[in-house]
Amino acid sequence: MPRMVNCVKIGRELPGLDRPPFSGPLGQRIFESVSQQAWALWPAQSTLIINHYGLSLGDPNAQKILLQQMEEFFFGEKARMPEGWTPQPAAPAAKGAGPRRK
């Protein structure tokens, strides 16, 4: 039986992560309060942030910015998903879709 958490992002009880996503207080806070479903939203959001700010994750300053954005994404004032929100299924690839050849 999965470990359940009252997810701060989605606003209901859902299966939690198997372990903290990284060490430290923020990783522990995410483990305790963020569901697997909400955590799955983070990669797309982090990519958006990295690209928008042109972050290089080898730079400690960039890492700090990303962690701040992560904390805001999960725990900030407007972090909760809108009422009635459900994730949209990925659109199926169109038949024959693939790289175009010239």
For residue 38, the tally of other CB atoms under 10 A from its CB is: 25
The structure tokens listed for 76 are: 């900030």
Please state the pTM of the whole predicted model.
Answer: 0.75
Residue type, 58: G
Q: Over the stretch 22-54, which tens digit does the pLDDT of each residue have?
A: 999 999 999 999 999 999 999 999 998 999 889
CATH architecture of the domain with residue range 4-75 = Orthogonal Bundle (1.10)
- Degrees to nearest 5, angle at CA 94 with 93 and 96: 110
Higher pLDDT, 96 or 15: 15
User: Cα 56 to chain center, whole Å?
Assistant: 19
pLDDT band at residue 77 using 50, 70 and 90 as cut-offs: confident
pLDDT score of 87: 54
Whole-angstrom distance between the N-terminal and C-terminal Cα of the chain? 52
Domain ranges of the chain: 4-75
